[in-house]
Amino acid sequence: MSERNIDPGTVAGFGDEWQRFRHDDESPNVEHHFAEYFSEFPWDQLPANAEGADFGCGSGRWARLVAPRVGTLHLVDASAEALAVARHNLRDAPGARFHRATIDDHPIPPESLDFGYCLGVLHHIPDTRSALAACVRALKPGAPFLLYLYYALENRPAWYRALFHASTLARYAISKLPPVAKNGVTDAIAVGVYLPLARAASVVDKLGGPADSLPLAYYRSSQLYTMRNDARDRFGTPLEQRFTRAQIQEMLESVGMKNVRFREGAPYWCAVSQKA
């Protein structure tokens, strides 16, 4: 496997993460979050027995729900540990194809896919634009592509962004810990920070208040498993980039996509576009 355009520490960290958070049949909230991420995806425009790809499949949590809807689904990931979990989770999916490869060097032929998606991956890659171009290269003209990148909080007030930047300093330290310590610290963050803030937002929501303006309000209906996973994802990863809505649109268009459409609610800014 080529190591072009990857951060080895990040790949190793996600291999450990997906071994721990396997998103198997007992994992909560997956269908709920799938409906959010894929809310704008044009399923009705796909041909029968469509062929597509999950770029950066991780545990295969999204692929488990996509595979029954299509003919062939390629799962691409740089981590052998992640692919092992994905193989287990899609053991009953005859159309699943697994590729251990970086996104820049994936083996899928150009202009062969009817659709593709990449959720929560490219912001962990040094050259996000290059990896995005590699995804788009595999799409047929007119094929839809679903993209989710960490957003730059440009729609949040200054105090909210200041809290986030303070948490980033903690991420720098936590991401350098050995796996056992890292998992313990991020579990503590999930229990001591995510859970109380999410439940407080739930109370505000039930009282008719502005719950969406509160930190971690997105998790108000999530179970602790999801919070633990996302805390590990957020604080345990060495490399993280963030993009504004305008930057995401410009980047998509620069690699040959058109008709960019964004989900207006959380998760921000989930985007569907079409290969020109």
pLDDT band for 29, please (50, 70, 90 cuts). Answer: confident
Can you tell me the distance from the alpha carbon of 105 to that of 108, in angstroms, rounded to the nearest whole number? Answer: 9
Q: Roughly how many angstroms between the first and final C-alpha of the chain, as a whole number?
A: 30
pLDDT of residue 21: 93
pLDDT of residue 26: 57
117 with 26, same domain? Answer: yes
Residue 108 structural domain: 8-152+242-275
Q: In the predicted model, what is the mean pLDDT of residues 221-231?
A: 94
3-state SS assignment for residue 76: strand
3-state SS assignment for residue 39: coil
276 within 8 A of 143, measured Cβ to Cβ: no
This prediction's pTM: 0.95
Question: For the chain, how are helix, strand and coil distributed in percent, rounded to 5?
Answer: 45, 15, 40
pLDDT of residue 125: 96
Give the chain's mean pLDDT.
Answer: 95
Instruction: Give me the residues paired with residue 147 across strands.
Output: 118, 271
Higher pLDDT, 3 or 188: 188
271 within 8 A of 252, measured Cβ to Cβ: yes
- Which of 104, 98, 100 lies closest to 63, judged by CA? 98
40 with 177, same domain? Answer: no
pLDDT of residue 152: 96
Whether the per-residue pLDDT at 124 is higher than 90: the answer is: yes
Can you tell me the distance from the alpha carbon of 113 to that of 123, in angstroms, rounded to the nearest whole number? Answer: 23
Q: In the predicted model, what is the mean pLDDT of residues 15-19?
A: 94
**139 Cβ neighbours under 8 A, 6+ residues apart:** 111, 113, 115, 116, 145, 275
State whether the Cα torsion 77-83-88-89 is positive or negative: negative
Whether the per-residue pLDDT at 11 is higher than 80: the answer is: yes
118 with 162, same domain? Answer: no
103 with 13, same domain? Answer: yes
Give me the helices (H) in the chain, please: 8-20, 30-37, 63-66, 80-89, 128-137, 158-174, 179-189, 195-206, 224-235, 245-254
What is the number of structural domains in the chain?
Answer: 2
- Which of 118, 122, 124, 121 lies closest to 240, judged by CA? 124
Residue 49's domain is classified under what CATH number? 3.40.50.150
Asked, for residue 115, whether it belongs to a domain, the answer is yes
13 with 135, same domain? Answer: yes
* Six-digit token string for 224: 């602790």
Asked, for residue 62, whether it belongs to a domain, the answer is yes
pLDDT of residue 25: 67
Can you tell me the distance from the alpha carbon of 81 to that of 269, in angstroms, rounded to the nearest whole number? Answer: 29
Spacing of C-alpha 226 from chain mean position: 13
Return phi, psi of residue 176, to 5°.
Answer: -90, -5
Whether the per-residue pLDDT at 2 is higher than 70: the answer is: no
- Average the pLDDT over each of 14-28, 158-172, 215-229 and give the range with the smallest value: 14-28
Can you tell me the distance from the alpha carbon of 32 to that of 16, in angstroms, rounded to the nearest whole number? Answer: 24
pLDDT tens digits for range 231-246: 999 999 999 999 999 9
State percent of the chain over pLDDT 90.
95
164 within 8 A of 153, measured Cβ to Cβ: yes
Count of beta carbons in the 10 Å neighbourhood of residue 7? 16
190 with 103, same domain? Answer: no
pLDDT tens digits for range 126-178: 999 999 999 999 999 999 999 999 999 999 999 999 999 999 999 999 999 99
180 with 246, same domain? Answer: no
Report helix angle 179-189 to 224-235, nearest 10: 130
249 within 8 A of 271, measured Cβ to Cβ: yes
